[in-house]
C-alpha cells in the first residue's frame, strides 16, 4: 500500500470530521436521555471526545507521526469553523426547510426534549404562534440525526442557518476518505481527486446544499457505508486497523438510518450483501462458525445503537405510540405524501416505467395538480424551460439534471464493455463492484419512489463506478489504450461537471438573494426603534421556521394575519410588515 503522508493527512481529516458528526449526534442523544438541555456543551464535549478517540486509535505511532496528527486535527477544526461561518451567510428558502426542519431545529435548541415530550405540547407552551398539528406530525415521528446536529451547532452560533453546515462537512469528509482510499489502493492522485469530487458534488447535493433537505446528505452516507464495507473486505488496506474500519462503518450506518426511514433500507441492503460475501469467504476458509457469530453480533450492536438508542425518539416512540416504527409513512394510519407529488399517469404505471420516464424525460416539476405528463426527450438536448426547473430542491422528473439521461446511457455502455476486462485486472475489486451494482439494482427495485431522484441517490453511483473502472483499466494497459481510456473518462467527467453547473447556477442565484435579504434586514433594523414590537405576517402559513431568524436577531414581533397595509417585505418576500 502506498504510504503518502499527504494522503494520510487527507484521510485523517475525513475521519475526524465524520467522527465529530456522529459523536455530536450521540452526545446530544445521551443528553436528551438524562434531560440535559441543548447548549454549547454539546459541541465542546463532542469535540473533546472526537480528538481523544482519534489519538487513542492512532496511539501506535503517535511519537513518530505526532506532527501529522496535529496537522490533521488543526485542519479539521479550521474546516469546521470556516464552513460554519460561510454557511451562515446562506438562507434556506425552501418550503420544507422553513416549515418543519427549522422549527424542529429551533425548538431543540430552545430546550425541547423529543424523548420526553411531543413537539406540539412544547410549541403550545413556548411558541404558540407556531402550533400546527400537521407540522408536528413530521417533527415528532421523523428521524432526527441531522436536526440534533444542526441544533447543537445553532446553540454555539446563535444562527439557525448555521446548522446546514452538516452538508458541507459530510461532503468534505466523504471526499477526503474516498480520495485517500482510492489513492492508496487503486488510482493515481489526479484520478482519485476527480472521482471523489464528482461523487460528493452531485446533482442532489447541488440542488439542496443551501437547504435543510436531507436527501443529498443521506446519499453521501450511503457512499460512505459502501466505502467502509470495501475497506473492511480489502485486507491490503492496512493504514487503519479492523477496529477503526468497523467504527467508521458503524458511524455511517447509525447516521444513515437516523436521517430518513429509507436509510434503514439502503444501509441494510448494502451491508447484507457484503455480510453474505464475508460469510461465503469464511465458509471457504473453514471459519464459518466463528465468523458468523462475530459478524452477526457486530451488525446487531450497530442496529441496536442506531435504532433503539440514537433512534429512540423516532423508531422506539413510534412503535410504542403507534405499533409501527415507521409511522406515519408506512403501515396502519399511513399518510400518503406521494400521490399528489407525482404525475397523474404514474398512478397506473409500474416502478420500471416510472423510473425510465423520469430519467429520460425533460427535467421539470410535473405534479398531480398540473395534470401534465413527463415529456421524453433526446439525450443531451437541453431546453430553456428545463433549466428553469433546476432551482427546485426536489425536482420530480429528470431530477438528476438535464444531461443525465445521456450520461446514464454512456455509463451503462462503459460498464457493459469494461466489467470483464476490469474483473481480469482486479478480481477482488471486480467482485466488490458487482456487489455494489447489485445493491443499486435491489434498492432501486424495492423503492416504489425510485423515480424521484432525491429518493434514489444510489443511482448516481452508476456514472461514478464507470469512471473508476475506466481509470483502473487505463492504468493497466498499453500507452495508446491508456490515452484513449483516460480521454473517455475525462470526457464523461466534463459532462458530469456541466450537468452539475446547471444546478450550481441556481445556488449562485441563492447567494444573490441572500445579499438582498441582508440588506433588507439592515434597513429594517435601522428604521425601527430598538424595543419596538413589529406586526408581521408570513406570506406562507407553512414558514414558521423563519420566525427563529427573527428571534436570533432579537427582533420583537407580533404574528398577525396578512392585510393590505403590509407593503414592506423581508426574507425574500416571506415576511410582510
pLDDT digits (tens, 9 = 90+) for 173-205: 999 999 999 999 999 999 999 999 999 999 999
Closest by CA position to 89, among listed 194, 190, 162, 167: 162
Q: What is the C-alpha separation between 458 and 435, in angstroms, rounded? A: 13
Average pLDDT over residues 164-170: 97
Q: Give the three cell numbers for residue 267.
A: 444501509
- Torsion sign, CA atoms 191, 197, 200, 206: negative
The pLDDT-based confidence of 1 (bands split at 50, 70, 90) is low
The pLDDT-based confidence of 370 (bands split at 50, 70, 90) is confident
Average pLDDT over residues 517-545: 88
Average pLDDT over all residues of the chain? 94
In three-state form (DSSP H/G/I as H, E/B as E, the rest C), the secondary structure along 220-249 is: HHHHHHHHHHHHHHCCCCCCCCHHHHHHHH
- Torsion sign, CA atoms 193, 194, 195, 200: positive
Residue 352: its H or E element: helix 351-360
Residue 153 has pLDDT above 70, yes or no: yes
Q: What is the C-alpha separation between 163 and 129, in angstroms, rounded? A: 23
Q: Burial, 521: exposed, middle or buried (Cβ in 10 Å; 0-12, 13-18, 19+)?
A: middle
CB 212 within 8 A of CB 105: yes
What is the predicted pLDDT for the residue at 565? 86
What is the predicted pLDDT for the residue at 2? 60
Residue with cell 433512534: 311
Residue 345 has pLDDT above 80, yes or no: yes
**Global confidence as pTM:** 0.95
The pLDDT tens digits for 475-514 are 999 889 999 999 999 999 999 999 999 999 999 999 999 9
Residues of the chain with pLDDT > 70: what percent? 100
Q: Where are the domains of the chain?
A: 5-261, 353-364+373-503, 528-576
Q: What is the C-alpha separation between 21 and 43, in angstroms, rounded? A: 10
Greater confidence, 331 or 230? Answer: 230
The pLDDT tens digits for 431-457 are 999 999 999 999 999 998 999 999 999
Amino acid at each position: 500500500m502506498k504510504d503518502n503522508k499527504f494522503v494520510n493527512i487527507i484521510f485523517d481529516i475525513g475521519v475526524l470530521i465524520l467522527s465529530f458528526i456522529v459523536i455530536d449526534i450521540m452526545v446530544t442523544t445521551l443528553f436528551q436521555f438524562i434531560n440535559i438541555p441543548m447548549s454549547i456543551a454539546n459541541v465542546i464535549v463532542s469535540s473533546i471526545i472526537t480528538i481523544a478517540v482519534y489519538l487513542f486509535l492512532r496511539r501506535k505511532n503517535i511519537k513518530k507521526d505526532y506532527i501529522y496528527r496535529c496537522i490533521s486535527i488543526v485542519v479539521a477544526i479550521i474546516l469546521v469553523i470556516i464552513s460554519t461561518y460561510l454557511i451562515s451567510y446562506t438562507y434556506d428558502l425552501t418550503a420544507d426547510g422553513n416549515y418543519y426542519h427549522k422549527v424542529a431545529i429551533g425548538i431543540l435548541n430552545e430546550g425541547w426534549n423529543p424523548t420526553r415530550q411531543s413537539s406540539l405540547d412544547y410549541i403550545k407552551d413556548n411558541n404558540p404562534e407556531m402550533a400546527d398539528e400537521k407540522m408536528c406530525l413530521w417533527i415528532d415521528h421523523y428521524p432526527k440525526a441531522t436536526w440534533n446536529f444542526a441544533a447543537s451547532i445553532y446553540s454555539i452560533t446563535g444562527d439557525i442557518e448555521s446548522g446546514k453546515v452538516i452538508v458541507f462537512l459530510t461532503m468534505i469528509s466523504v471526499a477526503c476518505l474516498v480520495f485517500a482510499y482510492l489513492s492508496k489502493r487503486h488510482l493515481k492522485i489526479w484520478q482519485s481527486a476527480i472521482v471523489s469530487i464528482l461523487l460528493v458534488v452531485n446533482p442532489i447535493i447541488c440542488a439542496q446544499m443551501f437547504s435543510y433537505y436531507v436527501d443529498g446528505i443521506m446519499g453521501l452516507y450511503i457512499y460512505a457505508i459502501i466505502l467502509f464495507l470495501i475497506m473492511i473486505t480489502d485486507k491490503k488496506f492496512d493504514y487503519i486497523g479492523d477496529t477503526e474500519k468497523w467504527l467508521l462503518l458503524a458511524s455511517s450506518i447509525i447516521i444513515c438510518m437516523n436521517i430518513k426511514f429509507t436509510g434503514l433500507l439502503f444501509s441494510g441492503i448494502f451491508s447484507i450483501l457484503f455480510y453474505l460475501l464475508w460469510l461465503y469467504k469464511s465458509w471457504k476458509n473453514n471459519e464459518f462458525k466463528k465468523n458468523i457469530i462475530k459478524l452477526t453480533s457486530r451488525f446487531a450492536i450497530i442496529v441496536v445503537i442506531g435504532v433503539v438508542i440514537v433512534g429512540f425518539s423516532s423508531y422506539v416512540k413510534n412503535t410504542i405510540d403507534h405499533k409501527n416504527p415507521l409511522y406515519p409513512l408506512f403501515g396502519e394510519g399511513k399518510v400518503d405524501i406521494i400521490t399528489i407529488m407525482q404525475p397523474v399517469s404514474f398512478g397506473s404505471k409500474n416502478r420500471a416505467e416510472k423510473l425510465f420516464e423520469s430519467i429520460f424525460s425533460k427535467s421539470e416539476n410535473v405534479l398531480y395538480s398540473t395534470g401534465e405528463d413527463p415529456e421524453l426527450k433526446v439525450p443531451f438536448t437541453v431546453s430553456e424551460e428545463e433549466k428553469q426547473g433546476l432551482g427546485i430542491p426536489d425536482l420530480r422528473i429528470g431530477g438528476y439534471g438535464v444531461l443525465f439521461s445521456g450520461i446514464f446511457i454512456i455509463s451503462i455502455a462503459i460498464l457493459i464493455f469494461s466489467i470483464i476486462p476490469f474483473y481480469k485486472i482486479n478480481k477482488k475489486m471486480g467482485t466488490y463492484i458487482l456487489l455494489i451494482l447489485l445493491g443499486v439494482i435491489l434498492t432501486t427495485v424495492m423503492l416504489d419512489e425510485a423515480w424521484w431522484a432525491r429518493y434514489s441517490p444510489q443511482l448516481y453511483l452508476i456514472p461514478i463506478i464507470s469512471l473508476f473502472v475506466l481509470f483502473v483499466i487505463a492504468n493497466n494497459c498499453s500507452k495508446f489504450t491508456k490515452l484513449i481510456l483516460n480521454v473517455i473518462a475525462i470526457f464523461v467527467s466534463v459532462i458530469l461537471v456541466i450537468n452539475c453547473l446547471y444546478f450550481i447556477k441556481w445556488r449562485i442565484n441563492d447567494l444573490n438573494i441572500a445579499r438582498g435579504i441582508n440588506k433588507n434586514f439592515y434597513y429594517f433594523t435601522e428604521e425601527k426603534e430598538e424595543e419596538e414590537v413589529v406586526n408581521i405576517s408570513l406570506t406562507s402559513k407553512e414558514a414558521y421556521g423563519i420566525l427563529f431568524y427573527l428571534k436570533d436577531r432579537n427582533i420583537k414581533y407580533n404574528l398577525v394575519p396578512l392585510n393590505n397595509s403590509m407593503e414592506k417585505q423581508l426574507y425574500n418576500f416571506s415576511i410582510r410588515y
